[in-house]
Amino acid sequence: MSGAHARRAGAPAGAVRESAQEAGAAGGAVRLAVDRLWGEGPGATWAVVTLRLEGGAGEAGELVVGVEAAWRGTPPPAEPLGATWALWEREAVECFVVGAGEEYLELELGPQGHHLALTLRGARRPTRWFLPVDYRARRAPARAGRPWEEGEPWWGEARLSAALLPPPLALSPLAPPPLLPPPPTLVADVPDAPGAPAYGLYACACWGPPSARRYATSWDLGGGAPDFHRVALAPLLTLPPPRPR
């Protein structure tokens, strides 16, 4: 991925407020705040992503990914709602779950209900795509049926089989990499449990026209041209144990 990026001045219109993040906390979830424009340090929060596992004994279980963001004005894809290729060229919030053997899951979620889920082995090398996802995007009830306005908040929840997750990198207890500071934009709502899987976890967002694309991440993925697939730089984080349905 590549695109123009400009220095941010103050809190932008449509940025997700910290108070909204706190009000939306869910027990047993990992939260990622997408608050870094590409090439810059932490600033305004552009989106909040939560991840949790659900399921019970003897069940495959589900990975549940929630999104809270604001629409940035990028026209939606012309394709019908549902699985949509090249969603990364539009407006989307993305989540990466990195496992062992260079395997990772990429999930892309759009404001209007488009989505894309694929597994990869090695950067940008898909092994499966158009994976089944139960995805529902919504806006405030008072906005239903009205034209979208830039800065308008939206929420999404995606459910997909936990069998699609890559092999974990490790089992907890697990400390952050010794040379990296603890991620300031992530909060685990429950303590690690012995045997819980640890993955590289981070989230991203992209929006804007081709001539002025913007990119934001929850973790520093380095400089240069924007590239969300630097999975080797992902922070190691533990997904809490599944909570019963």
pLDDT (tens digit per residue) in 102-133: 999 999 999 999 999 999 999 999 999 999 99
Q: Over pLDDT 70: what percentage of the chain?
A: 76
Residue 167, token pair as written in the block:
């092999």
Query: Residue 243 falls within a domain, yes or no?
Result: no
d(CA 55, CA 167): 18
Query: Residue 219 falls within a domain, yes or no?
Result: yes
Indicate the residue type of 109: L
- Supply the mean pLDDT for the chain: 81
Q: What is the number of domains present in the chain?
A: 1
Query: Residue 168 falls within a domain, yes or no?
Result: yes
pLDDT score recorded for residue 186: 38
Residue 208 domain boundaries: 30-238
Query: Residue 10 falls within a domain, yes or no?
Result: no
Please give the backbone phi and psi of residue 19, each rounded to the nearest 5 degrees, phi first: -60, -35
Sort strands 153-161 and 62-70 into parallel, antiparallel or unpaired.
antiparallel
Note the pTM of the prediction, 2 decimals.
0.81
Output the domain CATH number for residue 42: 2.60.40
pLDDT band at 56 (very low <50, low <70, confident <90, very high): low
d(CA 99, CA 18): 30
Q: Is the pLDDT reported for residue 12 higher than 70?
A: no
Query: Residue 226 falls within a domain, yes or no?
Result: yes
Query: Residue 107 falls within a domain, yes or no?
Result: yes
pLDDT score recorded for residue 196: 77
d(CA 140, CA 9): 28
Query: Residue 22 falls within a domain, yes or no?
Result: no
| Average pLDDT rounded to a whole number, residues 190-212 | 82
pLDDT score recorded for residue 59: 59
